[in-house]
Copies of this chain bind each other. A is one copy, B any other.
Amino acid sequence: MLVLSAIKNVKEDIRNRLEADFPELDFSFCHGIEEAKAELPEAEIFITYGEDLSDELIKQAKNLKWIMVLSAGMEKMPFSQIDKQGILVTNARGIHAIPMAEYTFTMLLQAARQGKKVIAHEQAHIWDRKVVMNEITGKTLVVLGTGAIGQETARLAQAFRMRTIGVSKTGKLKPYFDETHPSDNWKHVLSKADFVVAVMPSTPETIEFVKPEHFEKMPAHSIFLNMGRGDLVKTETVLEAVRNGEIAHAVLDVFEEEPLPEDHVLWEEENITVTPHVSGVSPQYQYRGFDIFSDNLERYLQGQEEFINKIDPKRGY
């Protein structure tokens, strides 16, 4: 049975462990789809980031029974052809929760405790004990999006003794949230927020979900962080909120245009921190992705029907 991977640069220890754990299988680790293509018709299992498949390739993959997508993004998957051929699809949903929650606390602590100013003082050899380092402990965090990433963020927030308020489409209560509100009635929670963290997926309903009227409700000392999608809020809206003093600071990891152009005004804005869409990047990414694959592979070989993160090709999620 051929297990074909189009994932570039799979770490050697991951390859070795798979081969040792499943000696009965043939593994072929290719550097991208161009290299993998030739073997696709023979493969029973295919591992991909989900951006390199087409109807044509799926049609050629006569023996393919399972596609493992090593990411959470499924927008480029040729689902109707996959569905026609009855191929199982699983993905790595949830893999971003840990790095994105860690990113959140790195940036909230940096912004609240004036990390940039502390570093500037160090660079200038200034011993200044008067920089106000606001604590995050005990504060109130509003999280837009209560999925795996929002929950992991709220879990850490509760460890910091924070009050956690979630906002989601249905408003259904989720683990690690003290309260949750539906996205058609959430504006009133903003006046309590010390921090607002956005991790909403991009759907037609979340485009420009955060509007000027929302920043007007946030306290002047509050910090806004967006690591979900760049189209959740207009750049202009964030800029105005910061410039008008409606909020104290904004941390942005996603933008309407990426990469953010070198001459973009956001780079220089004093109370905005820009990071280059890295909240989900992690040195552990491949390890965690292949751990999910490995668990599913065991189930597959045992003939089980239950898989981690099984995707319905008809719905695409």
Contacts and interface: CB of A to CB of B under 8 A. Distances in A.
A9 interface: no
A150 to B, nearest CB: 16
Contacts of A263: 125
Interface string A214-248: 00000000000000000000000000000000000
Contacts of A273: 122
Q: For chain A, which range describes its interface: under 10, 10 to 19, 20 to 34, or 35 or more residues?
A: 35 or more
Interface stretch (A17-25, A31-39, A111-119): A111-119
Interface string A254-295: 000011101110010000011111100111100000000000
Copies of this protein, total: 2
Contact of A159 (B98, B156, B282): B156
Contacts of A136: 102
A312 interface: no
Interface string A119-158: 1011101011101111111100000000000000001100
A281 B133 contact: yes
Nearest to A268: B125
Given A135-B99, A159-B159, A282-B135, A276 B109 contact: no
A126 to B, nearest CB: 8
Contacts of A63: none
Contact of A125 (B125, B138, B267): B267
A115 B106 contact: yes
Interface of A: 98-99, 102-103, 105-106, 109-110, 113, 115-116, 118-119, 121-123, 125, 127-129, 131-138, 155-156, 159-160, 258-260, 262-264, 267, 273-278, 281-284
Question: What 3 A-B pairs come out closest when comparing CB atoms?
Answer: A159-B159, A127-B259, A106-B109
24 contacts: A102-B109, A102-B113, A102-B137, A102-B160, A105-B105, A105-B109, A106-B115, A110-B110, A110-B115, A115-B115, A118-B275, A118-B278, A119-B119, A122-B275, A125-B263, A125-B267, A127-B259, A127-B262, A129-B276, A129-B277, A132-B283, A133-B283, A135-B283, A156-B160
